[in-house]
Amino acid sequence: MRNMLKPSLKITAIPLFVLLGISPLSSAQDNDVTAEDSAVETTARLPLTELRTFADVFNHIRLSYVEEIDDKTLLENAIRGMLQGLDPHSSYLDAKSFDDLQVSTKGEFGGLGLEVGLENGFVKVIAPIDGTPAEKAGIESGDLIIMLDGKPVKGMSLNKAVSLMRGAKGSQIELTIVREGRVQPFDVVVTRDTIKVVSVRGRTLEDGFGYIRIAQFQNKTGSEFKKKLAELQTNNQPLKGLVIDLRNNPGGILQASVEVADSFLNEGLIVYTEGRIDNSYSEYSATPNDIIDGTPIVVLINGGSASASEIVAGALQDHRRAIVMGTDSFGKGSVQTVVPLTKESAIKLTTARYFTPNGRSIQAQGIVPDITVERAKIETIATNQTVTEADLQGHLSNGNSDTESEKQRKAKADKELFNADNQLYEALNLLKGLSILSKNNMTNTSNAPTIVADPESL
């Protein structure tokens, strides 16, 4: 398994006077390119004419803007704009943003509990994080945030919007949201809190059937996932089926998603990346270690499943190791590399696209589930009262009095899951069906006649 290497960009240095113009009074006439300039442009492969235009704009702002702005701020703003114009995931990280990025991957930070990106100038919710103020306030994947405390988001950088949403624990912020299916924007007041993301949670759904929820891929997600899976195997012997819930999982650490997928594969590619520079190509392969030995798996995804969670779903789907159920995922199929500039700043730059083992690019398309199940509230249709054998006077006892109470308990549990989460209910039912089919095949094989070849007929 090879780790992805950070790209090394080498650009020949250009004198500062070339980058920033001859003098603060440089004019359009200075844009004539001399033979010496052409030599520099050929070596550096940078457009001198456009750089001089940039220097002119820089000087006009510095000299004529209504308020004085220091050169450092102007240049940082230029860098931000340059990166913001590339794609929604490339950005400039000042000291605070750099620190926030490192803290968020460790699983604890302050704020609302949202994974967000930019779309058409507005903040788009990729997914609310489990158990956070944003989820409790009813914010959903796909929501567009158009105002923050009455301030329009349009035109803000993503870093600025995130900064406004962060704040002291207990303080409140009003989000104005546009949601598909609702005619008018609406306001939601959210109380900030310290966000502690529990990456992996799990439980037994029914005897033999386990459930693991991954909320976000963090540094320790791979080891925590294996630990939780080991607990489920101990409590359910044998483990008949497993649901991996990646709904509203915004992604996170690439290596963590590879570890999770590798837990169920014995060979082959998990994911590979391709970019413009040589060392942006990387591939991650499985090791011979399916720790649940072929036990059926259902992976749940939805529109909030992005990036690293799409890597897991795509790898298990391509290898036919799991059935993917739910709705189409988000479609973030790009890799960001953090390139430090100084001790206090860095850029987060999109350097590659990633592909599933079969060569599918997830970018702007997402993972399409094998079985589509929309999230819905479902009501049971009432049936006419019918008479059964048990209603007849003097009917014979079945001799299984305890079984009846167990049947009622199970029916109640099924109904509760059915009403609470229809997608998980359908995933569990599918695993039950696969388990029954597996048992039938084993039974048929064990009862089949043994055929012995007659040596004399060979």
Specify which residues 191 forms β-bridges with. 172
Tracing tokens 């006439």 back to the chain, one arrives at 29
Distance CA 305, CA 115 (A): 11
Helix (H, G, I), strand (E, B) or coil at 449: coil
The token duo for 70 is: 């220091």
**Catalytic residue, candidates 257, 318, 329, 348:** 318
**Catalytic residue, candidates 199, 257, 307, 334:** 307
Contacts of 58 (CB under 8 A, 6+ apart): 20, 74, 75, 78
* The 3-state secondary structure of 157-183, one letter per residue: CHHHHHHHHCCCCCCEEEEEEECCCCC
Distance CA 92, CA 114 (A): 20
Residue 223 appears among annotated catalytic residues: no
The token duo for 329 is: 């995922």
Specify which residues 284 forms β-bridges with. 271
Contacts of 288 (CB under 8 A, 6+ apart): 266, 267
CB crowding 328-347: b at 16 or more within 10 Å, else e: ebbbbbbbbbeeeeeeeebb
Residue 332 appears among annotated catalytic residues: yes
**Which residue in 223, 253, 240, 225 sits closest to 296, CA to CA?**
240
Distance CA 333, CA 364 (A): 7
Distance CA 370, CA 201 (A): 25
Cβ–Cβ < 8 Å for 174, 189: yes
**Catalytic residue, candidates 130, 332, 334, 348:** 332
Residue 307 appears among annotated catalytic residues: yes
Alpha helix (H) residue ranges in 292-337: 308-318
Cβ–Cβ < 8 Å for 285, 260: no
Q: Is 456 exposed, middle or buried (0-12, 13-18, 19+ CB in 10 A)?
A: exposed
Which residue type, as a one-letter code, is found at position 302? N
**Which residue in 292, 371, 280 sits closest to 326, CA to CA?**
371
CA-based end-to-end distance of the chain: 48
Cα-only R_g, the chain: 29
Give yes or no for a cis peptide into 7 (omega within 30° of 0).
no
Give yes or no for a cis peptide into 238 (omega within 30° of 0).
yes
Q: Which residues are catalytic?
A: 307, 318, 332
